[in-house]
Amino acid sequence: MTQAVLLFPGQGSQEAGMGRDLAEASADAMNLWKLAERASGLPLREIYWDGDDAAMNDTRALQPALTVVNLNLWSAVAGRVKPLAAAGHSLGEFSALAAAGVLSPQSVLELTSLRGRLMAEADPEGKGAMAALLKLDLAQVEKIVADTAAECGEMILVANYNTPGQLVVSGAKAAVALACQKAKEAKGRGIELKVSGAFHSPMMADASKELAPQLRKATWSRPRFPVYCNAHGKAVHEGESALESLLAQMTSSVQWIDTMRNQYDDGARRWLELGPKAVLGKMIAPCLADRAQADQLTVELVNNAESAAALAG
């Protein structure tokens, strides 16, 4: 069997038509779409198989739909893979927990449907924003964030530590715009993201508080393999620890660099990304540049029925 760490992407990895081939070939896969539609109250197959970009980017629909795709891809290869561990980026953490048996697929779809709605409603006046700051190192970005906060007096922080050269800031719209300007002045790039709020920041506190009771009501089981969590980048080995991490996730930064480095330090050398397109696999070598050469790392993508069938057991 293939031995690898499972990686599940989050928002931004969606594609038109995602998951359709698997669903049309498997009654179980189709039923998961129907379950997500009941949980969300949205016509997810219509949106993602026949919809437009605006509809697909709506986090209310995106969160349950992407979770379905991730989980169906995992189901398609589960019999041929022995997971060493798992991790998911932001939303993808729910898929990782389901793959490890910590939460049931039904519970995960109910939680991500609620999470999507709460996050969409968290900033009705559009006060928050996010931006990727590129071609700058961590020290430069942290200085930009500190200088921006001091200059405009608005909240801003590093929300996603994706790679040493790809960091995402989140906060008040004016602060994010100023940070992008400062990034350009520092010979970097600032790209504002198409999101509905300042995710992974204190501006999600109300949404996080509303989600928390439902997280606590869910049944949390011991993981079948370790799950590395966003809030701290470390592996958890019990359901209670996974719950505590997920309770903090919505308002905490995504510690993806630490996640990848901790996996490598714990022995990981092969990763399997399960999602609509290559996103997380591209981050592995940059995160581990201080530890390994790229040719020492194996990364595979399973993003449709064809690639699932082709995966060697």
Strand partners, 5: 85, 271
Q: Which helix (H) or strand (E) holds 227?
A: strand 227-228
Show which residues are catalytic: 90, 200
pLDDT tens-place string over residues 106-123: 999 999 999 999 999 999
One-letter amino acid for residue 222 of the chain = R
- Ranges of residues in the chain whose predicted pLDDT is under 70: 313
* Sheet containing strand 156-163, strands side by side: 156-163, 166-172, 128-134, 189-192
User: Residue 201: which residues within 8 A CB-CB, separation 6 or more?
Assistant: 128, 155, 157, 159, 170, 171, 251
User: How far is Cα 95 from Cα 11, in angstroms, rounded to an integer?
Assistant: 12
User: How far is Cα 80 from Cα 308, in angstroms, rounded to an integer?
Assistant: 10
DSSP one-letter string for 25-46:
H-HHHHHHHHHHHHHHTS-HHH
Superfamily of domain 128-193: Malonyl-CoA ACP transacylase, ACP-binding (3.30.70.250)
* Sheet containing strand 81-88, strands side by side: 235-236, 227-228, 81-88, 2-8, 270-274, 298-302
How confident is the model at residue 66, as a pLDDT? 98
Strand partners, 189: 134
Helix segments in the chain, DSSP class H: 20-25, 27-40, 44-50, 53-57, 59-77, 92-99, 105-121, 138-152, 173-185, 205-217, 239-249, 256-265, 281-287, 305-310
How confident is the model at residue 313, as a pLDDT? 66
Under DSSP, the state recorded for 79 is G
CATH architecture of 3-122+202-310: 3-Layer(aba) Sandwich (3.40)
Q: pTM for the complete prediction?
A: 0.96
Q: Judge whether 3-122+202-310 and 128-193 match in fold.
A: no
On whether the CB atoms of residues 29 and 19 are closer than 8 A, the answer is yes
Residue extents of the structural domains in the chain: 3-122+202-310, 128-193
Strand partners, 130: 170
How confident is the model at residue 142, as a pLDDT? 97
User: How far is Cα 46 from Cα 20, in angstroms, rounded to an integer?
Assistant: 11
Q: Which helix (H) or strand (E) holds 134?
A: strand 128-134
Residue 75: name the closest of 27, 131, 142 by CA.
27
On whether the CB atoms of residues 141 and 221 are closer than 8 A, the answer is no
Token pair belonging to 206 = 């109300």
Residue 211: name the closest of 117, 306, 75, 311 by CA.
117
Q: Is 15 left (phi over 0), alpha (psi -120 to 50) or beta?
A: beta
